[in-house]
Amino acid sequence: MTVGLALHASGPGNQIDATVLLAREAAAAGLRSAWFGQTFGADSAQLAAIVGREVPDLEVGTSAIPVFGRHPLLVSSQAQTAQAATHGRYHLGLALGTKLLIEAGFGIPFERPIARLREFLTALRQLTETGTADFHGELLTATTPLPARVPGAEAGVPLLVAAMGPQALRASGELADGILPYLAGPRVLAEHIVPAVTAAAEAAGRPAPRIVAMVHGVVTDDVESARRTAVEQLAFYEQFPSYARVLELAGAARAGDVAVIGDEKTVAAEVRRYRDAGATEVVFSGTDLAGEADRRRTWTLLGELAG
């Protein structure tokens, strides 16, 4: 199992330069991968390409680009460019997105998300594997009157989905290479998520899927204060059905309740629980919950666990 970080540089300086510095520190600590979220700011695929180019010891990935407001041809171009720039170390994460952000941001209806995900994955797989597509779906069309291959990306691009609901897990098992569940604790992974996506992959004749568990947490002695901060930071997710479902399955009252917070022994034990639940990789975010000293302390532990 590999251990990585979700990196987000904040502050008034140049975000790209700051992210590269963080990534170098992560690699020096022994971490194996760096992942970048996609909002309305920096382009996550470009950021991954830059970091992967600058820090060759890290695998890099996006977690995750919404399929609404994008087209498979454009996402394929981004992903193949990142894959060529990093010489095969790029991993593309996709997401359904949320009705709130899609409709408010793009002004388009958030309709038939699972059908769109299926069509997007089907067309994107053709493009990233062959550089061509001839896909005509109900919601998307993707054809290649000109070649769509980026030389240097011939190995293809791993396709992962931020899936946690039953329908999204089924589609991901059938059409993707793995999933990126977030705020889904070990018991929820073991009892609900891993069996569903694995069964779908088996039924489709695909290899066992990667389970990249995205975990919010930090090593600290001030557990109570860090937990309060986590509750505040993660409250945003509680309004969305997919997160509300996994929190209910975990018996958690708030999203912050599933954050992994404690000393080195506690956090290491939780990482092992994720591994035992079926996670093939664990990626930590929120490591700045308790300040800079504890952030560095957390990275040191995670680097040891990665080793």
Over residues 212-267, the pLDDT tens digits come to 999 999 999 999 999 999 999 999 999 999 999 999 999 999 999 999 999 999 99
Q: Where are the domains of the chain?
A: 1-161, 164-307
CATH of 164-307 among 3.10.20.80, 3.90.1150.10, 3.40.50.880, 3.20.20.30: 3.20.20.30
What's residue 12's pLDDT? 86
Q: How many angstroms separate the CA atoms of 154 and 10, rounded?
A: 35
Task: Name 36's bridge partners.
Answer: 62
Instruction: Kindly give, in sequence order, each residue whose CB lies less than 8 Å from that of residue 208, ignoring residues fewer than 6 positions away.
Output: 198, 201, 202
Residue 30 has pLDDT above 90, yes or no: yes
Q: What's this model's pTM, rounded to 2 decimal places?
A: 0.96
Q: CATH topology of 1-161 equal to that of 164-307?
A: yes
**Mean pLDDT on 166-181:** 98
Residue 77 has pLDDT above 70, yes or no: yes
* pLDDT classification of 43: cutoffs 50, 70, 90: very high
Q: Is 197 left (phi over 0), alpha (psi -120 to 50) or beta?
A: alpha
**Mean pLDDT on 127-152:** 97
Q: How many angstroms separate the CA atoms of 240 and 98, rounded?
A: 7
* pLDDT classification of 307: cutoffs 50, 70, 90: confident
Task: Name 210's bridge partners.
Answer: 178
**Mean pLDDT on 138-145:** 98
1-161 — its CATH code?
3.20.20.30
Residue 83 has pLDDT above 80, yes or no: yes
Residue 1 has pLDDT above 70, yes or no: no
What's residue 11's pLDDT? 84
Mean pLDDT, rounded, of the chain: 96
Over residues 218-233, the pLDDT tens digits come to 999 999 999 999 999 9
Pairing type for strands 59-62 and 281-285 reads unpaired
**Nearest-5° Cα angle at 259, 281 to 68:** 65
pLDDT over 70, % of the chain: 100
Residue entry with tokens 């889904």? 184
* pLDDT classification of 10: cutoffs 50, 70, 90: confident
Q: How many angstroms separate the CA atoms of 279 and 112, rounded?
A: 29
What's residue 155's pLDDT? 85
Helix axes 15-28, 44-54, angle to 10 degrees: 50
Over residues 86-116, the pLDDT tens digits come to 999 999 999 999 999 999 999 999 999 999 9
Count of helix runs (H) and strand runs (E) in the chain: 12, 12
